[in-house]
């Protein structure tokens, strides 16, 4: 007899501009993230055929499902971009209502939409009615502490057919200051029947459990803590769903770093691939006992074989240091 698997608690990779690109999403997915969300894709530029935006919203060649996050403030562009993302193979569309960056908010996109829920609703309606794949909304608690309207926005989104919301437990005006308020997310959870992902300051299994306990959310979304640590999502997913997780060895970590470099070059070409890889390499290596100046030296190199040899030499030094302990 087949025993149905228990309902898994989802662990999503958060969208992060310039970081959660195709190579990183592919690794996070392989290590066990329930779902990965693209960097935000500017809807207008995507529709206009801009190559960089198309790449951000392109199909993950690993074949695993992925969500494309769209940013923008005009309903027709958002709807058209959603249609194209669906045609490219996206399994879902996420609408960005959480980005605090001035360049996004200045164009009345991202978290600026939380100041104008009627406009937010117009965008949601346009996207939901244009595609056949599920639509989610990522939001903050509100624009500022006096106007924490995420519960209302989530309710209105649900009523329009949105299938999931993700909430970063800060207001727009907090940017990344203070601590994410997982308790406030509970008010939103109480206001809707659709799944809610709690986001903000989740860094490991313990904080994931705490965020779920405080918010009552269905699952978690993890951003910054996954950089240089793409297996973190798999580790948290395993822990939350009662499975064991085997941490990677130093040799496996080295293989992943080198694979990440290879993927980056495959997708962007050698020059851009190396440039894009540097911040990931710095993040991977800074989690190991390696002096900062050695990491900085490696991040200045352009020659791929020299970078690969440098990664191997540093990881070998870590192995030797650990063997002596
Ligand atoms: C470098 C960077 C880029 C980000 N880009 C996006 C984005 O494109 N879309 C979005 O909705 N949120 C974006 N975010 C916000 C994250 O998705 C997430 O909500 C936030 O970092 C809080 O979660 P964390 O504490 O797990 O990192 C970005 C955050 C960072 C640090």
Residue 6, pLDDT above cutoff 60 = no
Atom of ligand 1 nearest to the CA of 201: 25
**Ligand 1 contacts CB of residue 109 (under 6 A):** no
CB 145 within 8 A of CB 173: yes
- Whether residue 6 lies inside any domain: the answer is no
**Ligand 1 contacts CB of residue 211 (under 6 A):** no
pLDDT tens for 171-205 read: 999 999 999 999 999 999 999 999 999 999 999 99
Mean pLDDT, residues 99-104 taken together = 74
SS3 content of the chain, % helix, strand, coil (to 5): 50, 15, 35
**% of the chain residues with pLDDT over 70:** 95
Domain boundary among 240, 262, 290: 240
- Whether residue 310 lies inside any domain: the answer is yes
**Ligand 1 contacts CB of residue 21 (under 6 A):** no
Q: What is the pLDDT of residue 57?
A: 78
CA of 313 to the centre of ligand 1 (A): 33
Q: H or E stretch including 41?
A: strand 35-42
Q: What is the pLDDT of residue 106?
A: 66
d(CA 31, CA 13): 11
Rg of the chain (C-alpha set): 20
Beta strands, E only, 186-244: 196-199, 219-222
Same domain for 168 and 43: yes
Range of the structural domain that residue 289 is part of = 250-324
d(CA 284, CA 307): 14
CATH of the domain at 256: 1.10.1200
Residue with tokens 């960097």: 39
pLDDT tier for residue 100 given thresholds of 50, 70 and 90: confident
pLDDT tens for 124-178 read: 999 999 999 999 999 999 999 999 999 999 999 999 999 999 999 999 999 999 9
Mean pLDDT, residues 299-312 taken together = 97
pLDDT tier for residue 4 given thresholds of 50, 70 and 90: very low
């Amino acid at each position: 007899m087949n025993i149905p698997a228990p309902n898994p608690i989802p662990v999503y990779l958060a969208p992060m501009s310039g970081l959660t690109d195709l190579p990183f999403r592919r690794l996070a997915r392989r290590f066990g993230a329930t779902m990965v969300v693209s960097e935000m894709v500017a809807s207008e530029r995507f529709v206009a055929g801009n190559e960089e935006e198309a790449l951000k919203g392109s199909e993950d060649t690993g074949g695993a499902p992925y969500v494309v996050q769209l940013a923008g403030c005009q309903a027709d562009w958002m709807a058209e971009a959603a249609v194209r993302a669906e045609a490219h193979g996206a399994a879902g569309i996420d609408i960005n209502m959480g980005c605090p960056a001035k360049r996004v908010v200045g164009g009345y996109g991202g978290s600026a939409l939380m100041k104008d829920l009627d406009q937010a609703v117009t965008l949601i309606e346009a996207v939901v009615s244009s595609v056949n794949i599920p639509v989610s909304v990522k939001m903050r608690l509100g624009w500022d502490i006096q106007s924490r309207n995420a519960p209302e926005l989530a309710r209105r989104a649900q009523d329009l057919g949105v299938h999931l919301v993700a909430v970063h437990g800060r207001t727009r005006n907090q940017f990344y200051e203070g601590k994410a308020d997982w308790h406030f997310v509970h008010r939103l959870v109480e206001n809707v029947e659709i799944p809610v992902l709690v986001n903000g300051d989740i860094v490991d299994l313990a904080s994931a459990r705490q965020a779920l306990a405080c918010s009552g959310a269905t699952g978690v979304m993890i951003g910054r803590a996954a950089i240089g640590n793409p297996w973190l999502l798999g580790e948290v997913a395993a822990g939350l769903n009662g499975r064991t997780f085997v941490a990677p060895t130093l040799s496996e970590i080295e293989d992943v770093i080198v694979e990440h470099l290879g993927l980056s070059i495959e997708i962007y070409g050698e020059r851009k691939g190396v440039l894009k890889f540097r911040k990931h390499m710095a993040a991977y290596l800074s989690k190991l006992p390696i002096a900062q100046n050695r990491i900085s030296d490696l991040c200045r190199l352009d020659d791929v074989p020299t970078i690969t040899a440098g990664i191997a030499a540093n990881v070998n030094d870590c192995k030797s240091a650990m063997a002596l302990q």
